[in-house]
Amino acid sequence: MARKPLISGNWKMNLNHFEAIQNVQKLHYLIHKEVFDDVDVSIHPPFTDIRSIQTLVESEELEFALGAQHCHSEDTGAFTGEVSPAFLAKLNTEYVICGHSERREIFGETDEIVNAKVLAILKHAMTPILCCGETLDEREAGGTEDKVLGQIAAGLAGVSNEQIASMVIAYEPIWAIGTGKTATSEDAQTVCAAIRTKIRDMADDVTADAVRIQYGGSVKAGNAAELMSQPDIDGALVGGASLKPDFVELVRNGAG
């Protein structure tokens, strides 16, 4: 089954709203319109930029999808500093990253917290990008699949097959994030295929064939096409390179 690939630019805590507007305008000018026939592209700026980018994307009818980098699982309440999924939905946010390794490692997000966020994002008709991935120690100990498939099972608890089919999973080996080290396309394909098989077991063929699986971890213009040509890799979650001019070529190369 043909799955339209999704390339997502995770800006992390970079670019204020003025810089963000300029960056999105420049990117859109440089990525030719036809490219969007072959690939979806989501932009995940910091929260303070989202309203500005929403206004720009909607007023100029840009093809970019608006994304967020995370959210809380509750709609409202005494959660100082947190961001409501209901408020993100109100800004027409389409994709929300959840369970990014930086959130898990720096901010202590457990599988249970990530699962609650997945359910909350879906409740508001947005698409979760559920991240999973192993550390270098886990990989060297042969524990990659145990770790990754465990995160998938926990993250998808209580999610219906139809909802899983609409989701995006991002396989991001932690040792490859921001390090310049990328998994070989064969290794990335092996893990992404195992994720799809896990979903086939948890749900059914239709669901497994529909869910999009991204690879993330030092993706750049030079390796995007090879990674995305793998049968079970349907796009890329891109950090560092999404802030550079390289992102234009990365998107073009990824579109094939």
**C-alpha span between 235 and 212 (Å, rounded):** 8
**C-alpha span between 144 and 138 (Å, rounded):** 6
- The alpha-helical segments, DSSP class H, found in 70-135 are 85-90, 101-107, 111-123
What residues are annotated to the active site? 100, 172
> Which is closer to ligand PEP, CB of 158 or CB of 245?
245
Nearest distance, CB of residue 203 and ligand PEP, angstroms: 25
Nearest distance, CB of residue 198 and ligand PEP, angstroms: 21
CA nearest neighbour of 11 among 52, 55, 67, 58: 67
End-to-end CA distance of the chain: 17
**C-alpha span between 65 and 56 (Å, rounded):** 11
| 212 three-class SS | strand
Nearest distance, CB of residue 89 and ligand PEP, angstroms: 23
Which positions touch ligand PEP (CB under 6 A)? 10, 172, 177-178, 216-219, 237-241
